[in-house]
Amino acid sequence: MAANIRKPADDLHPYRVKYLTDPSQDELRELALKHSKNVLVSKYGNLNKITRNKARMANRTYIIEDPKNSADFSSNIIAGENAAKYLDLQRDYIEKCGTLIEIQGYIGLGEQAVPIQFLYTPDGANIAGMQKVLLFPRSDVESPERLKEPFKPEMRLVYTAECPAKGLPGDQGIIVDIYNFTTYVIGPDYFGESKKGGLRMFCEYMYQRGGLVLHAGAKLVKVKGNTFSMTIKGLSGTGKTTTTFSKQGELTQPIQDDMVTLWAGGKISITENGCFAKTFGLTPESEPIIYDGTVNKDAWVENVYQDPSGGYDFSKELLTIDEVKKYKDVLIFTGADEKNIDAFINREVSIKEVLDGNGVPKDGWDFVVWTQNGRSIIPMHAIKDAADLHKIPDVRFMGILNRDEGADAATPGIIKFVSPEQAAGYFMLGETSKTSAAGKERGKTRSPFTQPFFPRRMELQAIRFKELVATMPDVITWMMNTGFIGGDSRDVEAGKALKVKIRHSSAMLEALVEDKIKWTSDPDFGYLIPDIAAPENSELMKAVPAEILYPKVFYEKNGRMEEYSKWVNSINTARKAFLEKNNVAAEIINSVCGK
C-alpha cells in the first residue's frame, strides 16, 4: 500500500471530486445547516451540533504499521493491507459524494508553523468550520510571493463523518499513516477527532525536530515587572482551560488553551488560533472569558443543551419527560433506543429506576442525562486580552493538574518538584480522576504527560522532557490538585470532604509566581509542599485551608489516618508499576517512589 501513497504536497487533490477551497465562515454555516445532521441554531446566532460521539475514541485509532513493530507505538496497529480496504471504502464514499470542503492553513506561527490540509465531505461542514477557526490562515504565515503559489501541506487529514467503517469496532476508525503525515477519520462526528488528528501528526513532526508537544494551556504572566510564560498540563475536566484563563501577577494574558511545543532553553511555540473549551458548569462569574466567547456569534458549539429560547443551559443534567420528548429525534440519531425513549415518555419507567447510586444511567438509558462534555470553539479574536502570539516569552513555570477525587483523594493543593527527574516522573504519570468526558468509567487514571496523542512509545516523552528541562535551569515545575480532599461532591455536601475551589487554585498559583511560599519536604513523597507551620505562609492560609495544602492534616482531624497510610503505600506501588511498565529510567522512578 505504501507505494501508492503520496505525501500531501505531492498530490494536493487526490480525489476525483469538486473542491470547495477555504469557504468563509458564513458559507460553512450554510453548508452545515444544509448537510450536517443535528445542527441547531442558538439565540446567539452560532451553531450547536449534537453529536453521536461524545468524546474522542482512542481505542478506535490505528497506526498503519507492521504488527511486529507494535511496541514502538502507543496506539493500536493496523497492517497496511488491512488499512487499504478502509481507505478504499472512504475513497468510494468521497467520490460518490462528489464534493470535498478543503481547509488550508497552519498549525502554529513563525518558524515552527506547519502547513496542513483538511478535507471534509459536506456532512462534516460544521467540523470544517470549527477546524478553520483554530488554524492560522496562510496569510498569517506566508509571504505575499508564496501566497501566489499552490499550497504545499506537510500534513493532511481526510474526514468523512457519515461513512461507516464497516468491520471495525463501532463501524468507526481513525487510521494514521504516520510516515506520510496523513490521517483518515471514518465514521465519528465529534470535532475532537479532527483537532487531535492534526495535532497527533504534529506531535510526531515536532518530536522529529527536537521539540516536545505538551498537552498544556499556556499564559503570559507579569510579576514584579518580569514577563514569562506558564504552561499548564491536564486531562479533560481537570481545569486546564480554567487555570489557563485565571489571573496571577500584575498581568495575565492567555496564549493557548490546549497544546504548545517546548524547545531547548525554555522556548515555546504555539499551535492554535483559538480555544476548544469545555462548557459544563460555565457561568459569566466563574469563567467570564470562556462564557463570553462561547456566546459570541463567531463561536461553534457541540453538545450543549438549548432551552426553549435557544439559549444555552451549561449545567443541564437530568432531562424531564417533556425535554426527552422535545429532543426525541436528536436522541435517536445519537444512538438512544427508541423503545426506551417511548417507555420513559409514557411514564412506564421512572428516572430513579434507570440511575445507579452515583447518578450514572444504566446501559441503554444514557439519554436521560445530558452529556457534560459540551464544548465550544472560540476564535482568538473573541478572547479578551489574549497575548500577542508573535511575541511569546520563555517559559518559567511548568505545571500539571490532578483532579483528585474519592475517599483516597489526598494530593496536596500545590506541590513543587525538586528535580527535573521528579517532574518528569509526575508528568509521565499524568494522574487524575476520570471525568464525564471518559464516559461511565470512574476512578483514578494515568496518561503520560496527559498526552494521549503522542504516537510513539510514551517513555520517549519523559526522556525528551528531561533533556529539555536540563537546558532551562531556572524553570519551576509544579503540580496542583483541582479536585477534592477525602471524598467527592456528595461527601462535601455531607461535611466529610473538602473541595479545592477555583479561588483556592488561583491563590496558590498567585503565591507560587510571587515566590511567597515557604516550602517544606513532604515526608511521604519527597516533593515540596507549603509549610503550614511557617509564619511566611499566613497570607496563603487565609485563602486556602491547611487541610488542602497538607491533606494529612485533614485525615488526622477526621480520624482517618489508617486510610491515609494505606493510600501512601498503594499510590507508591501503583506509580512504580505504571512507570516500570512504560520503561521509564530508574533515576526518574526513584525520584517519585524512592521514599
Do the beta carbons of residue 8 and residue 182 sit within 8 Å? Answer: yes
CA distances from 548 to 28, 504, 551 (A): 47, 9, 5
Strands 212-214 and 260-262, how do they pair?
A: antiparallel
For residue 326, the SS3 value is: helix
Q: Return the HEC string of 187-239.
A: CCCCCHHHHHHHHHHHHHHHHHCCCEEECEEEEEEEECCEEEEEEEECCCCCC
Phi and psi dihedrals of 146, rounded to 5?
-65, -30
Domain-by-domain residue ranges, the chain? 2-209, 213-273+389-593
- The whole-angstrom separation of Cα 286 and Cα 427 is 27
Residue in 567, 570, 292, 177 with CA at minimum distance from that of residue 408: 567
- 479's CB contacts (< 8 A; 6+ apart) are 399, 400, 401, 402, 411, 414, 415, 417, 426, 527
Q: Where is 100: in which H helix or E strand?
A: strand 99-107
pLDDT of residue 595: 55
- The whole-angstrom separation of Cα 399 and Cα 550 is 18
- Block means of pLDDT (10 residues each) for the chain, 595 residues, are 62 96 98 97 98 90 95 94 97 98 97 97 98 98 96 98 95 96 97 96 96 96 96 91 91 95 97 94 92 96 97 96 96 94 96 88 94 94 92 97 94 97 95 61 80 91 94 96 95 95 95 97 96 97 98 97 95 95 93 81
Three cell numbers, residue 514: 510571587
SS3 content of the chain, % helix, strand, coil (to 5): 40, 25, 40
- The whole-angstrom separation of Cα 9 and Cα 115 is 10
- The whole-angstrom separation of Cα 1 and Cα 11 is 16
How many Cα neighbours within 13 Å face the side chain of 13?
14
Domain 2-209 belongs to what topology? Phosphoenolpyruvate Carboxykinase; domain 1 (3.40.449)
Q: What is the DSSP-derived secondary structure letter of residue 253?
A: E
For residue 480, the SS3 value is: strand
Q: Where is 541: in which H helix or E strand?
A: helix 538-543
- The whole-angstrom separation of Cα 68 and Cα 450 is 27
Q: What is the DSSP-derived secondary structure letter of residue 75?
A: S
- 564's CB contacts (< 8 A; 6+ apart) are 410, 551, 552, 555, 556
Three cell numbers, residue 503: 479561588
Fold match, 2-209 / 213-273+389-593:
no
Q: What is the DSSP-derived secondary structure letter of residue 458?
A: T
pLDDT of residue 13: 96
Strands 226-233 and 395-402, how do they pair?
A: parallel
Do the beta carbons of residue 585 and residue 462 sit within 8 Å? Answer: yes
213-273+389-593 CATH: 3.90.228.20
Residue in 181, 302, 199, 303 with CA at minimum distance from that of residue 257: 199
Per-position b or e across 448-474, b if 16+ CB within 10 A of its CB? bbbbbbbbbebbbbbbbbbebbeebee
What does pTM read for this prediction? 0.92
Do the beta carbons of residue 129 and residue 29 sit within 8 Å? Answer: yes
Residue in 448, 258, 276, 306 with CA at minimum distance from that of residue 378: 276
Three cell numbers, residue 219: 499564559
Do the beta carbons of residue 551 and residue 485 sit within 8 Å? Answer: yes
- The whole-angstrom separation of Cα 292 and Cα 397 is 28
Do the beta carbons of residue 50 and residue 303 sit within 8 Å? Answer: yes
Phi and psi dihedrals of 482, rounded to 5?
-110, 15
- The whole-angstrom separation of Cα 143 and Cα 153 is 15
pLDDT of residue 442: 56
Three cell numbers, residue 357: 447510586
pLDDT of residue 4: 47
Three cell numbers, residue 570: 498503594
